[in-house]
Chains A and B, each alone.
Chain A
Amino acid sequence: MTAAIELHAVSKRYWQLHEQAMLLKSLIPFARPTKTELWALREMTTSIASGETVGILGRNGAGKTTLLRLLAGVTRPTDGHLVVRGRIAPLISVGVGFHQEMSGRENIYVSGMLLGLSRQQVRERIDEIVTFAELVDFVDTPVKFYSTGMFMRLGFAVAAHVDPDVMLVDEVLAVGDIAFQLKCIERLHELQQRGTTIVLVSHSVHAIRLLCPRALLVRAGRLEFDGDTDLAISRHLELLSVDAAPSPDADASTDERHVGAVSIVKRELLGPNGPTRHPRQDDDVIYRITLRFERAVESPHLSFSILTEEGISAYGMATRIGRDWQTFHAGDVVVADIAFRIRLSGGTYRLAVVVMDRDGRELLCADHDGPLMYIDRRPGSSGIAELEASIVIGDHRLTEQAGRMMVAPQGRLTAEEGPPE
């Protein structure tokens, strides 16, 4: 198998300007804006075989987007070199080159050709694309009259029918409804079967686990880990906890949100050993939020939920409605501790909090993008709840015991104390 993608000590530097550069000003000596260098990637070496599907993990700003841009040929490295063999198509942002005034059909031509098809190839595939997008009756309508869903379906349909040799997928699984996501995953599976090399970038650990046997973990521009997806995910989650503790992710836990009469001024997820993003199964954790009352509120009612990536509630708990317990005054600050035990199947979960008035009629605060929480998957398990199931046939115990199970690189199951370093 030849490598479809090879990276040889690839580095990429960006210059960060401290002010907008002006032509007239730059002609004056000593008036040039100062700039600092930023290394988005540092000496990254790896290779991806033809037909392989590889996930890329890493926090925001770790260098994932730069890596994809390099693979797409949009930018070139500052040092080192890379080779990509075959036709490359990005499934990055849906609807590349779409124009509101033009019809669906016209947009399919522009977008398809930008993604690398010839006019003839678009002509051959257009019926298939339109059918796939379920837009047969609307293909000659300007896309400005499309709903968001129609627009995305059309964009995805075009990208999915380019049939590249190397497909770069960025966060597409984060958009759209569940049906759309399933269609997307199904199509990616189909491309896998046909031997397409796929590079998948996603915040969704779930999607990467579903599609990629191998994953690269990027941290501060360097390749931190390259290998088995489960190990990569464990390492990623571990790093998220470590890195998240002092300075949190984009989904910050300290930024203030003024939603209404009640603001959340601080959010923290505390595990047995302090702040965490990666609690273990059976850990007792506390979601600690600091509330500030912007006006007087009498005996507020608080509800808490744990949401899956798809936005489905995995668990919820609420205080009793209509019970008198305390009156708060404007400016009061109070800490709420929501304690619970992790009994969830592996995946990414979001913590959400809603504060309402005493009778549950008026919304005082809705915090739907609280911190993310990552939980390791027990090998073989799926779903939301961790019910510690086991399967025994005859004398054979065919499932691993509940607890901290890891998958070794060769796919062999081994029990370990914790994730490997």
Chain B
Amino acid sequence: MLDSVARLDVDGVVDMVEPSSASFPLTGHHRVLRLDEHPDGRRAWFAGLWAHREVLDVLARKDFQTRYKRATFGLAWAVAVPTLQAAVMAVVFSRVIALGTDRHFAVYVMSGVVAYSYFSVVTLSTTTAIVDGAGLTDKVWFPRVLLIIVPCLSNLVGFAVTLVVLVAVMPFFGLGLGLHVLFILPATALLVAFCLGLGMVLGALDVYFRDVKFLVQAALLVCIYLTPILYPQHVVGPIGPWLDLNPLTGIVVLFHMATIGSGGPWVRPVTVSVLITAALLVVGAEVQRRHDRLFVDQL
């Protein structure tokens, strides 16, 4: 053990060659933890993330299970709430207010609302995830960013089932099921990546500033109207193109492409969305890495 320690004594957590650990036959790998005033190096931080993949899995399962354990219908509840919300919004905005003209408008509204409700639920959770996880994290170390990834994953199950329901009802609105439905995959990937990037930034801010969660709550209420979800983008006239600057627009446009298959300009909003998501992921990961072992000091 002595030799391997000396050899691998570098920054961060490093997996060591399995020593002949007669005393701990069940112990997996041994590690060297070396801490100084600097944050973990990028490689070490990502290695730490990878080493904790099982912990992520168990935390996500726990989050999913406990969220619906109280509810009578379990997972059905996770699907019913956004479906109902989407259905109500679809009826209100396509029949009562009648912003859209064609009969596909109900599906247009529903697909946007389903995506937005995932975004909204996940963002509320990720914002407070690190603060809420304080009890878990002031004794044992694991990369704090796991707490941000957990809601992104655990809400994905309900989201996926809701999408299946959405696709299943499409024929009733006169929409054919073609290969365009596969746009759901890149759309979902972009949505999850965006939520993760934003969550990493907001979750970190929330540790240092206690008003962040209220600002997020307020922003989520407003944001749905700044995204072409409840109305077609062209009805807002000259403001329409500006909506492309909203990173959610690109995501929602992809979901529209997957469901109603409508054309319309998509290159610009999707490009904006991808670029902003990439930027958030880089900035978010960097913020999380630099502050990983400092969050606990604020909690």
Residues of chain A touching chain B, judged by Cβ–Cβ distance below 8 Å, are 2, 14-15, 20-26, 69-70, 72-90, 92-93, 96-97, 99, 101-102, 106, 109-110, 113-116, 118-119, 121, 124-125, 163-165, 194-195
> A87 with B23: in contact, given A76-B39, A118-B54 (CB under 8 Å)?
no
- How far is A22 from B211 in the complex, measured between Cα atoms in Å? 5
Contact across chains for A78 and B37 when beta carbons are under 8 A apart: yes
Interface string of B219-248 (1 = CB under 8 A from A): 000000000000000000000000000000
Contact across chains for B28 and A26 when beta carbons are under 8 A apart: no
Q: Which residue of B lies closest to A163 (CB)?
A: B24
Please give, as numbers and ranges, the residues of chain A lying within 8 Å of B104 by CB-CB distance: none
- How far is A69 from B57 in the complex, measured between Cα atoms in Å? 25
> A88 with B33: in contact, given A20-B210, A74-B293, A102-B69 (CB under 8 Å)?
yes
Please give, as numbers and ranges, the residues of chain A lying within 8 Å of B66 by CB-CB distance: 99, 101-102
Q: How close is B127's CB to chain A, nearest CB, in angstroms? A: 12
- How far is A80 from B13 in the complex, measured between Cα atoms in Å? 18
Please give, as numbers and ranges, the residues of chain B lying within 8 Å of A76 by CB-CB distance: 35-37, 39, 293-294
Task: Determine which residue in B13, B36, B138, B139 has the highest number of CB atoms from chain A within 10 A of its CB, and name it.
Answer: B139
> A85 with B5: in contact, given A22-B209, A72-B141, A99-B66 (CB under 8 Å)?
yes
Interface string of B31-42 (1 = CB under 8 A from A): 111111101000
B69, B138, B210: the one contacting A22 at CB < 8 Å is B210
> A86 with B31: in contact, given A22-B209, A77-B36, A102-B66 (CB under 8 Å)?
yes
**Total number of residue pairs linking A and B with CB closer than 8 Å:** 138
Contact across chains for B210 and A113 when beta carbons are under 8 A apart: no
Q: Is B208 an interface residue (CB 8 A)?
A: yes
Contact across chains for A85 and B32 when beta carbons are under 8 A apart: yes
Give 15 A-B contacts (CB < 8 Å), ordered by A residue: A2-B1, A21-B210, A23-B205, A74-B141, A79-B37, A83-B33, A84-B32, A85-B30, A87-B28, A97-B62, A102-B69, A116-B140, A165-B27, A194-B23, A195-B23
Please give, as numbers and ranges, the residues of chain B lying within 8 Å of A85 by CB-CB distance: 1, 5, 30-33
Residues of chain B touching chain A, judged by Cβ–Cβ distance below 8 Å, are 1-2, 5, 9, 13, 23-24, 26-28, 30-37, 39, 54-55, 57-59, 62, 65-66, 69-70, 136-142, 205, 208-212, 215, 293-294, 296-297
Task: Determine which residue in A14, A76, A106, A163 has the highest number of CB atoms from chain B within 10 A of its CB, and name it.
Answer: A76
Contact across chains for B37 and A101 when beta carbons are under 8 A apart: no
- How far is A110 from B9 in the complex, measured between Cα atoms in Å? 30
Please give, as numbers and ranges, the residues of chain B lying within 8 Å of A115 by CB-CB distance: 140
Contact across chains for A74 and B296 when beta carbons are under 8 A apart: yes
Q: How close is A15's CB to chain B, nearest CB, in angstroms? A: 8
Please give, as numbers and ranges, the residues of chain B lying within 8 Å of A78 by CB-CB distance: 37
- How far is A396 from B256 in the complex, measured between Cα atoms in Å? 96
Which 5 pairs of residues, A with B, have the shortest CB-CB distance?
Answer: A81-B36, A23-B209, A73-B141, A76-B293, A84-B33
Contact across chains for A87 and B27 when beta carbons are under 8 A apart: yes
Please give, as numbers and ranges, the residues of chain B lying within 8 Å of A110 by CB-CB distance: 58-59, 62
Q: Which residue of A lies closest to B209 (CB)?
A: A23
B70, B205, B208: the one contacting A101 at CB < 8 Å is B70
